[in-house]
Structure 1
Amino acid sequence: MLRPCWTCRSRTIQCDQSRSPCSKCEKAGLECHDKRPLRWVKGVAIRGKLRGHIFEQTSKASGNPRTARPGRNQVSLTSAKRLQILHTPSFAMEDPRIHNLDQLSKYYIDYYNKRICNLYILFDSDKNPFRNLLSLGMENLALQKSIVALAARHFANTGHSFDATDAVAPSRFMKANTDALVFKTQTIEALSSSLLDAGSRRLETTMATILLLIFLDLLESGIDGWNSHLQGARSLLMLNQCFVDPNPERGSNIDPGDTVRDTRQFIIEQLLLVETLGSALSYPKTVSEAFTGNDGTKHQESVVRSFLGCPGFLLRAVQFFSDQRCLIADVKEREHPPSSSILRDIMEMLELTEGFDSLEWASDFKRRAASPTTEVKSLCMLSQAYKVATLLYGRRVLSALSTQPTSNNAKLVSQLLSLIEALQNDAILFKCLLWPTFIAGLESWAKSQQAFVMESLRALWDSTSCLNVIGASKILRDHWKREDFPDALMCEISDVGGLGRGWLLI
């Protein structure tokens, strides 16, 4: 950003000019404009004595004049004013189907278009699949309401601080909180009606609605609710195998089309990512069998649609270590000693993970993304952060097979914290680091490391406004209180399943 934004100048505050949108506008929940935007007002003038005045109209039916109330009484405190709308929603101007919606829904749809779509994607573009869901939402009530609920919840969250999320927020954020609850209820009702409609074949919109409800859960807490939605999605897929089957049954001439196939694949990819990182921090077996992509493989990367920027191989490694947790838990329940093959398999995967080439991955990622704003070095550090976090996670799983205390991971922890610190200057990549930051926190026992992890989580909250970040900070604070426990007890809690709930920290 070469000059201060218009929004900050109009608020008479100093713009940080860090990026577009600037961090001050993001934190305040306002649209960041380079110059004065167009403003639509009621009445014949925007200022002066005629502000808010509407001239008399003649009714065609009766021929009698319909007079408006005096100007000052004419202008009411609308929902748009309560939310400090500074412009007409751009999406409302682009899609005529939105004109029939109420002003509040228009605002939140535009908020989703501007704020949410680039939050849940690594690199925003005109091919952003979250933005493409807007068109589907104009034709499906459940999806439309989920979009609005997601935007309202995010806006409400921006009214709180990292240290006092329970404090009373300004009235406009309290109103947004109520809006989010109302629209979420309407989403559930519309989704239930859609599921009860046996004749409905709009599986793409139903699955997209479930996906957005999962992301809504991230904004609300990231505890357990995501898994319920995930199980519902899995049940639907079992009933509609054609959703993931690239080869229709012989004799069927139904071709869903490229757009539908692309939407289906995107949804499967996101559900798989949620399942992998969600099950990694949940009790074993609380998340059942994995989703499978159209080609029968898991975690096939799509640069344009990448959510976390985590290499596919590392996601598969996390899934493998999580599966071994289930095997270990199973043999312990049967009071059998773990098989030596489990130990051997974990050691082999740790070696493969150690040998993963982050620089090669980043170079290939950069080439396919064709993004001029992100350097290979930064992408390499992002990949390396996930690599080190995966190694730490794998070692914690390995420690569950031993009666000895967790192995010394000080070098890996220091390396991971250094990577997180280096990436704090890149807002696009830093927002992806909740899971690695949390894994680093589990192994951070020095007060200086714990303080840095808390500051990193604070920065992530400022960047994302997701309440699961607050949840992560509370888990770690409780975890660090155990540092004075005897070594034997530390062995018992070294398994990541000791978190007590199903957490989705992405």
Structure 2
Amino acid sequence: MLEVGAMKGTSWDNNLQSLLHDAAMLQTFGSSLAKPGVLTSASTLSSVRASAFSTVTPNGCPVQILSTVEIFASQRRHDFAFAENATNIVVLEDALQKMRSYDIMSWAVHNTTEDSKVSSEDLARLGTIWQLSADIYACRVLACLTGSTLASESLQVQGLIAAYAFIEREDDELIKCLIWPTFIAGAASTTYEARTWVLKTLDRIWNRGHCANTKNAAKVLGKLWEKYDQTNLSSSHIYNGSNATGYLSMGYSVWDWVNELSSLEGSWLFI
């Protein structure tokens, strides 16, 4: 569990809020990649006390970012007919813009003290990783629900990978918090280089935490990548062997990895 301090209120109140954060985190990230219609229970996020710079979840994700993921996950898993409901589209687009403008640095400062085990700078970097990965997820879900076409996600993935730079420190425990963002980076990867980075990062997470979800994430990504490569195999014929990396990016804007994930057997909890 990530410990950042700066929690206010009574000990009982703190413990209750901590339990609610745990439940909300498990429910939200657990349902974010589930098949539509499988999970229909009400969100526990409504029970979590929120503020302008709401508290941090055990994996370093701001509650506001968690809330945005829940909005998109909820709409997706209920499989609403968004093409005929402009109001829902507006709600999703507004939630995405609010998440993008969220002040991560102020949130980090608000949730750390001099005694915190994680500095405000590192907490801000963790928050940024969650913000960027949630953005990739939200954009893909929105494109799926509206039937629109995304521009290449490669730039988003590159930005997310770059945000991990601070955590290249040897034996850094913070890497254990980042299974879900790393999986999102992998699912949206368009190059062999990005895939290699994702597998290396998942291996680092495994070595620090020995969480079975890490191994499951790598296996699921392998299946997704195999499906994508098979789908785009015919396109690769216009390239020679030296440009093998290039065909991975062909047609990726119409590659719906969220729906493809739903077609795989099983369910996962990548946290």
Instruction: Quote how far apart the aligned CAs of 1:402 are.
Output: 4.1
Answering whether residue 61 of structure 2 is matched by residue 310 of structure 1, we say yes
Q: For 1:415-494, list aligned pairs within 5 A.
A: 415-425=159-169, 427-484=172-229, 485=231, 487=251, 490-491=254-255, 493-494=257-258
* Cα deviation 1:451-502 (Å, max 9, x = unaligned): 0100000000001111110000011111112334255995454435344432
User: In structure 1, what is the Cα distance between the partners aligned to 2:91 and 2:252?
Assistant: 25
Answer whether contact 1:406 1:491 (CA < 8 A) is retained.
no
What corresponds to 2:158 in structure 1? 414
* Cα deviation 1:366-423 (Å, max 9, x = unaligned): 23x732x533222111010000001001011011134454432222211111122322
Which of the pair has more CA radius of gyration? 1
Answer whether contact 2:28 2:69 (CA < 8 A) is retained.
yes
Q: Which amino acid aligns with 1:502?
A: S
Answering whether residue 220 of structure 2 is matched by residue 340 of structure 1, we say no
What corresponds to 1:351 in structure 2? 97
**What's the TM-score, normalizing by structure 2?**
0.79
Per the alignment, in what secondary structure is the counterpart of residue 111 of structure 2?
helix
Instruction: Quote how far apart the aligned CAs of 1:259 are.
Output: 6.5
Q: Which amino acid aligns with 1:407?
A: A
What corresponds to 2:115 in structure 1? 370
- Name the one with the larger helix percent: 2
Answer whether contact 2:17 2:48 (CA < 8 A) is retained.
no
Q: Which amino acid aligns with 1:477?
A: G
Instruction: Quote how far apart the aligned CAs of 1:353 are.
Output: 1.1
Query: 1:331 aligned to 81, 86, 90, which one?
Result: 81
Gaps of 5+ in 2: 233-250
What corresponds to 1:122 in structure 2? 2
Per the alignment, in what secondary structure is the counterpart of residue 289 of structure 1?
coil
Answer whether contact 1:389 1:439 (CA < 8 A) is retained.
yes
What corresponds to 1:290 in structure 2? 42
Distance 1:482 1:338, change over 3 A: farther
Per the alignment, in what secondary structure is the counterpart of residue 145 of structure 2?
coil
Number of residue pairs aligned between Structure 1 and Structure 2: 243
User: In structure 1, what is the Cα distance between the partners aligned to 2:42 and 2:81?
Assistant: 21
Query: 2:143 aligned to 399, 406, 430, which one?
Result: 399
Distance 1:384 1:298, change over 3 A: same
Answer whether contact 2:157 2:185 (CA < 8 A) is retained.
yes
Distance 1:443 1:319, change over 3 A: same
Gaps of 5+ in 1: 1-120, 126-257
Distance 1:500 1:347, change over 3 A: farther
What corresponds to 1:273 in structure 2? 25
Q: For 1:49-448, list aligned pairs within 5 A.
A: 121-123=1-3, 263-292=15-44, 297-298=47-48, 300=50, 302=55, 306-327=57-78, 329-331=79-81, 337-367=83-113, 370-371=115-116, 373-425=117-169, 427-448=172-193
Q: Which amino acid aligns with 1:353?
A: M
What corresponds to 1:128 in structure 2? none
User: In structure 2, what is the Cα distance between the partners aligned to 1:383 and 1:324?
Assistant: 24
Per the alignment, in what secondary structure is the counterpart of residue 189 of structure 2?
coil
Distance 1:456 1:411, change over 3 A: same
Distance 1:451 1:267, change over 3 A: same
Higher relative contact order (CA 8 A, sep 6+): 2
Distance 1:491 1:445, change over 3 A: closer
Answer whether contact 2:28 2:66 (CA < 8 A) is retained.
yes
Answer whether contact 1:400 1:491 (CA < 8 A) is retained.
no
Q: Which amino acid aligns with 1:395?
A: C
Distance 1:498 1:419, change over 3 A: farther
Of 391-400 and 376-385, more deviation after overlay is shown by: 376-385
Answer whether contact 2:153 2:253 (CA < 8 A) is retained.
no
Per the alignment, in what secondary structure is the counterpart of residue 374 of structure 1?
coil
User: In structure 2, what is the Cα distance between the partners aligned to 1:348 and 1:500?
Assistant: 33
Percent same amino acid among aligned pairs?
Answer: 24
User: In structure 2, what is the Cα distance between the partners aligned to 1:267 and 1:366?
Assistant: 19
Q: CA RMSD in A?
A: 2.8
Distance 1:260 1:385, change over 3 A: closer
Answer whether contact 2:38 2:77 (CA < 8 A) is retained.
no
